[in-house]
Amino acid sequence: MALAGIIVLYAIQFYMVLLVVRMIISWVPLLARGFQPHGVLAVIFELVYTVTDPPVRFFDRILPPVRLGGVALSLGFMLLFVVLIALQRVTVLVFF
């Protein structure tokens, strides 16, 4: 039973790392306007967005982005992060 809990915790942690990578990737166009990923980097960018986009969009429908001037702050992204942290806590309570 503990092994299943460890696997679930690692999966949640890995997904949280992907969300942080997505956050960093989303800042790249703002900081380097002419940047175009090529080769392996383009595949990594696409993979990160493919895996993280459906839940972020789902939570964006529940909690729409807040406009701050020309910038939209995704509250769905933050809500997803909070949900993942709560899932980690529940996993620890259930499996350990």
The angle subtended at Cα 47 by Cα 5 and Cα 58, nearest 5°, is 70
Tens of pLDDT along 12-43? 999 999 999 999 999 988 888 888 999 999 99
Answering whether pTM is above 0.85, one says yes
- Distance (Å, whole) CA 62 – CA 68: 19
